[in-house]
Amino acid sequence: MDAAVYRTPERAALRWVEDFNVALATGTAEAVADLFEADSHWRDTLALTWTLKTTSGRDTLAADLTALAAQRGLRDVAIDPERCPPRTVRRAGAEVVEAFLSFQTDIGRCAGLLRMAVGAQKAWTLLTTLEAIRGHEEETLRAARDEPAVSRAFHGPNWADKRRESAAYADRDPAVLVIGGGHGGITAAARLGQLGIDTLIVDRMARIGDNWRLRYHGLKLHNTLHSNHLPYLPFPETFPSYIPKDLIADWLEFYVGVMAINFWTRTSFDGAAWDEAAQCWTARLTLADGSTREMRPRHIIMATSISGTPSIPDIPTLENFQGTVLHSSRFGDGAQWRDRPVMVFGTGTSAHDIAQDLQGNGAQVTMVQRSPTLVVNIEPSAQLYDGVFLGPGPSRDDRDLITLSVPLALMKAAHKEITDRVKELDKPLLDGLEKAGFRLDFGEDGTGWPLKYRTRGGGYYFNVGCSELIAAGKIDLIQYADIDRFTPGGVAMRSGGERPAELVVLATGYKNQDHMVRLLFGEEIAERAGPVWNFDPDTQELRNMWMATGQPGLWFTGGAFSQCRVYSKYLALQIQARELGMVG
């Protein structure tokens, strides 16, 4: 083969695509396998499997890909001229050619992303993803819904009248009921609405955005706005890089209005039972006025966050304490605790932010560490993991596809490389923390905070100043193992002496979705649905997130803004396919 073929990313990618089309036409796994590295990975998002799944290893990958490509009618693979052109980039410690692909299947329009080592001419990773179901694309459905410029019924119902009627659900039930009105529920509803699927969000809060608005006083997002945009409507350029909680809340409220999302506040979801014969739910709601309503949606999306219900651990002898005990979810601000001794149990993000707020208000603060915690400076270190969203380059849609294309194995390798760099950048701070007695960790195999989030939902802190206070001794630190027992006025230490406290804040995290499912649906449905969050070793995907579960009609969404923006698209497409009768 002429080496000139591989001299540019465009030529290298084009040659691989040509060979791939030829290999698919042969219908043999051997021909496909010859185009992949031995340690290659294929991630499919609905295009060929109707689910989210990563397959690793050339032989297994090639066999599955070849068979499914034939079944689904995969064809016309090409370099996508509408996306970022092929280029050379660094991924997971390697220089690779990265190319955006387009292709068709019998189901619809699809996209892909090819990644291969420079000069190797074999695929290292391949993403295949369904973009739209043919004949039911968002743009097609929007055009069908569009109203003429002039209406003969000039005094008939206008847009606002129709919105109020739609949101009332006086004579119908929604196809999809979304439980929880945070960014996860809202992004799912926005995607479903653009696909013409009747969707209602219910939330216990009094006002849209209150799940952010009512959190502790100093809260901001700890990553920049570039990765946190919602679908269809990005944040204005005027927004601060680190968005404060009240601005997030107001934006969510605005977003729901302009995206015409049906949303009931002050509404409690009291549980649901599955009607196997009718293939729908009987869902029980308590409304704002205290009345009840039974609905029969075909789908329920649990969007109550990956960590919804406060977790109050059983702390021996805590009952002896006669001061105030609050979970972090109920903490407002520290002004009333000036000059008073307080203890914060926990060393995650909420614990640090609350401790810093209390110290800034003049309280005498002691943090109690229960387990080693990952600490990373918010700038630049924490932002390095979101590097794909920063700086000039591809469009936001292209960046989302890049994020989607990274299989778990590469994510771990990339994050370990970043974490090694972060440890050097943050060394002075980390040394100061260890000197103060703070126990550090750096994630599974040194992979940093993102994988801790995806496995535990916490266990880390983006330093915005509290770590310096600990290192300087302005916030005291003790280890939970050194506490003997609680006393009426604080804690007695194993080494002797007593530490006073008038307030104990339990920054002890939240219960996961599994707890919520058992509470609201019962053990049988919880067992059928299966566990939620953390990685499934077989699929290498987050368990039961944004995909069909073992319980028909039950779906889950949650996670960071960027995760909800990216994966809400594929959650909505799966529900659309079921509404169209394409998937059982």
- Summarize pLDDT for 520-535 with one digit per residue, the tens: 999 999 999 999 999 9
| 396 and 277 together in one domain | no
| 492 and 364 together in one domain | yes
Q: Show the domain range for 55.
A: 3-133
Decide if 584 is inside a domain: no
Contact 328, 503 (CB under 8 A): no
**Which residue in this structure is represented by tokens 């185009």?**
35
Cα–Cα distance between 25 and 504 in angstroms, integer?
67
Residue 219: band (very low, low, confident or very high) from pLDDT cuts 50, 70, 90: confident
Q: What is the pLDDT of residues 400-449, one digit of tens each?
A: 999 999 999 999 999 999 999 999 999 999 999 999 999 999 999 999 99
Tell me the DSSP string of 145-161: HPPPSS-S-TTS--HHH
Task: Supply φ then ψ for residue 406, to 5 degrees.
Answer: -85, 110
Q: Which token pair is 5?
A: 């073929």
Tell me the DSSP string of 248-288: HHHHHHHHHHHTT-EEESS-EEEEEEEETTTTEEEEEEE-T
Instruction: Work out how many domains the chain is built from and give that number.
Output: 3
> Looking at 345-359, 381-395, 482-496, 522-536, which range is the least confident one?
381-395
Cα–Cα distance between 232 and 258 in angstroms, integer?
11
Q: What is the pLDDT of residues 22-37, one digit of tens each?
A: 999 999 999 999 999 9
Q: Which token pair is 420?
A: 């090694």
What is the pLDDT, as a whole number, of residue 1?
Answer: 43
What is the pLDDT, as a whole number, of residue 388?
Answer: 86
What is the pLDDT, as a whole number, of residue 191?
Answer: 98
| 334 and 437 together in one domain | yes
**Which residue in this structure is represented by tokens 């053990």?**
523
| 341 and 446 together in one domain | yes
Q: What is the CATH number of the domain that holds 565?
A: 3.50.50.60
Q: Is 495 exposed, middle or buried, given 0-12, 13-18 or 19+ CB atoms closer than 10 A?
A: exposed
329 or 255, higher pLDDT: 255
Decide if 159 is inside a domain: no
Pairing of strands 476-479, 460-463: unpaired
| 428 and 517 together in one domain | no
Q: What is the CATH number of the domain that holds 46?
A: 3.10.450.50
Last residue of a domain, one of 104, 133, 162: 133
Decide if 163 is inside a domain: no
Would you call the peptide bond into 148 cis, given omega within 30 degrees of 0 as the criterion?
no
| 322 and 453 together in one domain | yes
What predicted TM-score, i.e. pTM, was given to this entire model? 0.92
Q: Which of the 8 DSSP states describes residue 548?
A: -
Decide if 541 is inside a domain: no
> Looking at 90-104, 447-461, 494-508, which range is the least confident one?
447-461
| 89 and 226 together in one domain | no
Q: What is the pLDDT of residues 98-126, one digit of tens each?
A: 999 999 999 999 999 999 999 888 999 99
Last residue of a domain, one of 110, 133, 156: 133
**Which residue in this structure is represented by tokens 């778990």?**
408
What is the pLDDT, as a whole number, of residue 376?
Answer: 95
| 298 and 367 together in one domain | no
What is the pLDDT, as a whole number, of residue 306?
Answer: 56
> Looking at 143-152, 381-390, 493-502, which range is the least confident one?
143-152
| 494 and 372 together in one domain | yes
Tell me the DSSP string of 277-346: TTTEEEEEEE-TTS-EEEE--SEEEE-S-SEEEE-----TTGGG--SEEEEGGG---SGGGTTSEEEEE-
In this model, does residue 503 exceed pLDDT 80? yes
| 444 and 525 together in one domain | no
Decide if 33 is inside a domain: yes
Cα–Cα distance between 513 and 549 in angstroms, integer?
13
| 180 and 263 together in one domain | yes
What is the pLDDT, as a whole number, of residue 152?
Answer: 66
| 78 and 205 together in one domain | no
In this model, does residue 128 exceed pLDDT 90? yes
- Mean pLDDT value across the chain: 94
> Looking at 13-27, 41-55, 147-161, 464-478, which range is the least confident one?
147-161
- Which residues pair with residue 314 across a beta bridge? none
Contact 154, 530 (CB under 8 A): no
Decide if 154 is inside a domain: no
Decide if 147 is inside a domain: no
What is the pLDDT, as a whole number, of residue 308?
Answer: 56
Decide if 543 is inside a domain: no
Using CA atoms, how far residue 400 sits from 103, 410, 492, in Å, is 18, 16, 51
